[in-house]
Amino acid sequence: MTEVFESIRYTADVVCIKGGAVLLIERGWPPHKGRLALPGGHVDPGETSRAAAARELLEETGVHVDPWDMELIGVYDAPDRDPRGRYVTAAYLVTVDDTTSAHAGDDAAAVRWVPLEDARGLAFDHTDIVTTARYRHNSPF
């Protein structure tokens, strides 16, 4: 019997909520260039997914949060969730103050606060992640 090994990449995504809106980035690179997505990216060697989520949020949007203020909402590992190959992401939820501002950085072409009810058709499986964050936590947002 021959063993088959699959390369798996580890990422972290953030559902960042302000009032009734979620912070989304416009992707500046393929795949899904130009589409809206959650802030997130690769977990670096020696880094936890929680630390990576906070770092990616800061790099892509300028929003700083304490990693321990984020709550794990789930692990997303469907084999076809990313066209580049097998990506497994840990998704986190954080709520920020109404005065929080954001600006595009790193690989984000733009950022915007989108009303939660309008956060559909996002890149990858990010619509599912936002939906899970809303319903799993029975939140009023």
Cα–Cα distance for residue pair 25/140, rounded to 1 Å: 23
Write out the two tokens for 18.
């302000």
The residue-averaged pLDDT of 103-111 equals 91
Q: What's the full length of the chain, in residues?
A: 141
Q: Is the pLDDT of residue 130 over 90?
A: yes
pLDDT score of 140? 54
pTM of the model: 0.93
pLDDT in tens, 51-96: 999 999 999 999 999 999 999 999 999 999 999 999 999 999 999 9
Residues in CB range of 22: below 8 A, 6 or more apart: 15, 16, 38, 113, 114, 116, 119, 130
pLDDT score of 139? 55
Q: Which domains can be identified in the chain, with CATH numbers?
A: 8-136 (3.90.79.10)
Tell which residue, 45, 124, 49, has the closest CA to residue 79: 124
More confident residue, 2 or 56: 56
pLDDT in tens, 5-29: 889 999 999 999 999 999 999 999 9
